[in-house]
A and B are shown apart, each in its own frame.
Chain A
Amino acid sequence: MQLDVLYFAWLRERIGAPRERIETGAATVADLVAQLAAMDEWHAAAFADLDAVRVAVDQELAAMDTPLDGAREVAFFPPMTGG
């Protein structure tokens, strides 16, 4: 399947792009993270500390074990700092 993967804040800066289209067979967010982190040094740097990374699947907050079945958009970002 093809996924739109989005990055925000320092993840966007480390990867050097706000979004990319990824061909993947990942079953869960964790599988996708493993695939992305193995792509190159920039992706590896972005995913080096997973405690500092949050994820949304199709614009709903999700977790590393969230399944990607039927997902279209996955976003990675640091903990949110609104308000």
Chain B
Amino acid sequence: MFGFRLAKRDQALPGGQVLAFGIGLIVALAFGAVLLVVAGHSPVEIYLKMADAAFGSPQAWSTTLTQAVPLGLAGLAVAVAGSMGLWNIGAEGQIIAGAIAGSWVARLGPDLPGPMLITLMLIGAAIGGGILALGPAIARAHLGVNEIITTLMLNEIALRTVRYLVNGPWKDPTSIGFPVAPELPEQAALPTLFERADISVLIAAAVLIVFGFYAARSKWGFELRIAGSSEKAAEYVGISLKRKILTVLVLSGAIAGLVGGLRLGATDRIVEGVAEGWGFAGIIVAALALMRPSGVAAVAIAFGALRVGGVAIKGQGVPASIAEIIQALVLLGALGAAVFTTYRIVGPKSYSGGDATSRDTSEVTS
């Protein structure tokens, strides 16, 4: 339109992501401020309240981090696959599968001591998530079936399965009609870390740090990045794409499954809505982290803070819709700004129409 178009930058803007996110945030907050003024609120006051609710006290931090745990792990799950160019849209279903497997472990060994039971439940959850991702992984690796479709559709399967379980075989007989499973054994609850945060914060931090480091520094992570940059280059240096796709998608599913295991601690029992959309939120987190596992933690904390802040201002008389619009604006601003770290706007006049330039970009993107 009007002859303006986006052209890929020759080099990504150095340090551009942080700058871009900053600018995106400011623009979004400015738009939000207009909305708040129109609704009769003082934007400064409201924004300070949001910040205070998210970071103002140890209790605020504990709430923010509790939100950041599923966001970060689900984001990691998506980013691990994304760093080799695969889209795991099924984190939501894998979270459910993880929760199912974790509950199943708890049903099998209700009398195990707490640390052991928790460990087994989490391992079971990871395996559960991995198993749900196995089908799409095999189909993608060996038959080239698009993993976006298969992982997305398995979300439904997982949801129907948990619905069946809590309405049928696993239904709590004492629940007077509510479709919930019985509460998990008491010793299966995750120990508290501080205020409202439990040790899932530590578990998630450990997983994120190990993976962030491993993906960036290991031979395995290097191969992942080659495959993500160009499949043909990966084949050229002798990386088995099939095996890589298989392991990465299953690993991605396992990380998402772990979220399901950790969520059991928050819900005390498995319910239909155990995944609560964390799997889909993980896609946003991963996209904001530019599919880099090492960037997921920071994004997850920021996103968690935004959610906590958004909930807090609803209590201040700000209409829920405006609180949600502000959250969406910030995400949109950050995602939109990220585009400009790798693209620039070209005016109509500098368009040469030459195929030499367009060939360059097509080579780069292919």
A and B, one complex? Answer: no
B residues contacting A by CB (< 8 A) are none
